[in-house]
Chains A and B, each alone.
Chain A
Amino acid sequence: MSTRTEDLSSSTPPSGPTTPPSALDDRATAGPGGGPLAALRRRRQAHVPLRHRIREAGGILRFLEVWVSGERHGRYGFATIRIGLGAVLTGYLIVNLADAPRVWGPGSAWMGNLRQDNLYGWPFNLAQKAAESSIGFSLWYLATLACGIALILGWRTRILIPVLYVLFTGLISLNPVVTDNGDLTCRLLLLYLAFADASGVWSLDARRRARARPSSNPTIARYLKVLGEIGTIVHNFVLVVVVINLCLIYWTAGLLKLQEPLWREGTAVYYPLAIRLYQPWPALSQFAWGTDFGVHLVTYGSLTIQLLFPILILSRYTRWLALMAAIGLHLGIAVLMGLASFSGFMALMDAILISSTSYLWLEGKVLVAAKKVRAAVLPGGPEQQDPEQQDPEQQGAVADRAGPARKPAQDKVSVGKDGSGE
């Protein structure tokens, strides 16, 4: 076997014609002529169908190899999960602050054997020691809260995420009675984020890395480069695993529901909504189950979306339908059943399916809106010009000024047809 060496970062396959910048590498789009929005516009115009890209790469295996090892995909999706996870987790801990001693702290001693049954070993069981005293428990709880905030900011995530995983898992292991699938999803997402590039964009880490000077020692530089390439491969596989896991969640939940007569009759949604402890707004719940048609529609609609989810996400058009339906489902559960943290954690996983193109579009809108607000608050400044009047290139430049962390050139933003979230 030959051991030829090549540089995949150039995105030019050894065989076949030169790949257009839009297909395999958007580094070329970060030229001096425009910001991310302009780059996106060019990318959309130059969109290359998947089958062409496979042919240009020199076959499906070669295409997959380049896809897996060439660049880190879905970094905006992972960044959204990271920020959302930190926000939901922080909110969850704040909401439970007053009750925390009873839920997990010294007041949870009523669980007795139920707690001892938990399977987590060291270092997770340190939480049990900490929970024996008010001070120890408070420190554990506040440390978890602080890590949740740091996760939003994307500060030292390589170390932070494993630490947060230990703190959060230790915390919820203290009370297996009140834990739910939201906690499970949070733990899973933390595990996935630990292996992915969760702070590639929209983070303090990204800003720090952009400012850092490359190592002058060639050995260290080469070592870091190899580590980065391995990290890219792992990151992309994690992306694939997250998408598959998401599909499995919806699909198995749908299949299990299909086995239940109440789901097949189209009335299943009514029953949880009629339970007192899942009725934070009784009038709203009664309104929700008020008509037969509404109950049947939501029941069969939920079932259909869950069963078809893996298929719907394959096309960029139906993917939006699936995402909107799934997010609507979680929103309904959050509001009608008072399961906000559960729904929040679950909905976050869906964020990986939104393309970087959409995230960048949203970022551009947010930055333009922020500029409007700044102009309104600080009249007379150079930013007084109406952002809507600017041409998109200038808007892109606005986005670029958000900081050096915004590096669209290192993220893929256009593919959308490979079924992997991009």
Chain B
Amino acid sequence: MNFLYRRIVIAVVGVVAAAYVFSVVVVTGKDLGVSDELYATVRDDYMRPHLMQSWGLFAKGIVNSDKTIVMRAQVQTPEGNVVTTGWVDIGEYEWQGILHNPTPARTARTTYKIAGDMQIAVRKVPTVVVPAISKDLLSDRPLSSGDYLKTLLDQPQLNSTSRSSVAAFVNLDNVATRLTTLYAYRFWNQPVVAVQWSVVISPVPRFGDRDTGAREVPTTVAASGWRKAPLFDAATISAWTTS
């Protein structure tokens, strides 16, 4: 290649590489002094979704609690009766898939993550909304928990921040209901009529108490009422009952 052209290529590629490195510095330095405005611009305009990076794992807000969802269901027996099952700790069930397994499957910590997200979401929602979570939603018409909670968004005392918090919680509420419904199919392999779930957070013993195992009392951060089971197609149910 011609001497001049080579230098031009080097300059162009160098500038692109430098711009990329600068962008990486900005998005990874969000909590290290980079301004929110610059971070948001670089993240939204240049990095998301393919080049986005974040390396705060095990650093910010280090995980220090067992988080789980406990659930029960109303299932239909072959005779047509609806029976209520006992409570099941899904976290415990998932742990059985991890125990003595060097390469656990990706499903293994699903509930842990949903419960963690739920813990954060509940903290942000206004207290006026929280009682609604525990109401039973068993109407025959297709009224989901999300629909119910969305009606709360119209309440005048909610400002825009509160509304977005409620919307985020509604999303997770739907996810929890759908996930527990599929777990109900997996556990009892019967048509599921309704589910009820609770998100339970149990801090691990403090470092100084690790020998005695003394733990704080577990906290239920969200407990739903009965939720009518959402409908799933046969392929979805089959994936949960056969795999």
B-contacting residues of A (Cβ < 8 Å)?
A: 1, 3-6, 8, 65, 68-69, 91, 95-96, 98-103, 105-114, 118-120, 132-134, 169, 175, 177-178, 181, 184, 187-188, 191, 225-226, 229-230, 233-234, 237-238, 240-241, 244-245, 248-249, 252-253, 255-257, 259-260, 262-263, 265, 267-268, 270-272, 274-282, 289, 295, 334-335, 338, 340-341
Contact = CB atoms under 8 A, between A and B. Distances in A.
Nearest to A69: B6
Contacts of B181: 110
Given A112-B174, A188-B53, A270-B210, A275 B65 contact: yes
Interface string B196-229: 0000000011010010000000000000000000
Given A110-B178, A233-B13, A256-B32, A91 B103 contact: yes
B60 A178 contact: no
Contacts of B240: 102, 107
Contacts of A100: 243
Contacts of B207: 265, 267, 270-271, 295
Nearest to B28: A252
Contacts of A263: 59, 62
A212 B1 CA distance: 23
B32 A252 contact: yes
B33 to A, nearest CB: 10
Query: Chain B contact residues: over half helix, strand or loop, or mixed?
Result: helix
A114 B63 CA distance: 23
Nearest to A98: B243
Contact of B175 (A65, A111, A249, A335): A111
Contacts of B53: 184, 188, 245, 249
Contacts of A134: 235, 238-239
Interface in B5-59: 6-7, 9-10, 13-14, 16-17, 20-21, 24-25, 28-29, 31-32, 48-59
A280 B100 contact: yes
Contacts, number: 231
Given A267-B207, A275-B63, A187 B50 contact: yes
Given A110-B178, A119-B48, A272-B62, A240 B98 contact: no
Contacts of A256: 31-32, 55-56, 59-60
Given A103-B107, A249-B55, A256-B59, 8 more contacts: A1-B4, A106-B236, A106-B239, A177-B113, A252-B32, A268-B58, A271-B62, A271-B204
A230 B7 CA distance: 11
Nearest to A8: B6
Given A134-B235, A274-B205, A280-B98, A96 B243 contact: no
Interface residues of B, number: 78
B9 to A, nearest CB: 5
Contacts of B54: 181, 184
B13 A237 contact: yes
B163 interface: no
B3 A277 contact: no
B62 A226 contact: no
A271 B175 contact: no
Report the 6 A-B pairs with minimum CB-CB distance, sorted nearest first. Answer: A107-B239, A101-B239, A256-B59, A110-B178, A106-B235, A274-B204
A377 B28 CA distance: 53
Contacts of A260: 59-62
Nearest to B112: A277
A392 B179 CA distance: 62
B111 to A, nearest CB: 8
A253 B59 contact: yes
B236 A277 contact: no
A259 B30 CA distance: 13
20 contacts: A3-B4, A98-B243, A99-B107, A102-B182, A102-B243, A103-B107, A106-B239, A107-B236, A133-B235, A177-B114, A225-B1, A237-B16, A255-B32, A256-B60, A260-B60, A260-B62, A274-B210, A276-B95, A277-B109, A295-B207
A229 B1 contact: yes
A243 B239 CA distance: 42
A114 B175 contact: yes
Given A241-B21, A277-B98, A252 B29 contact: yes
Nearest to A258: B59
Contacts of B114: 177
A276 B48 contact: no
B157 to A, nearest CB: 25
Interface in B69-122: 91-92, 94-95, 98-110, 112-114
Contacts of B102: 280, 334-335, 338, 340
B2 interface: yes
Contacts of A245: 21, 24, 53
Contacts of A1: 4
A132 B234 CA distance: 11
B64 interface: yes
B105 A95 contact: yes
Contacts of A248: 24-25, 28, 55
A122 B34 CA distance: 32
Of A103, A118, A256, A281, most buried by chain B (CB within 10 Å of CB) is: A256
B2 A3 contact: yes
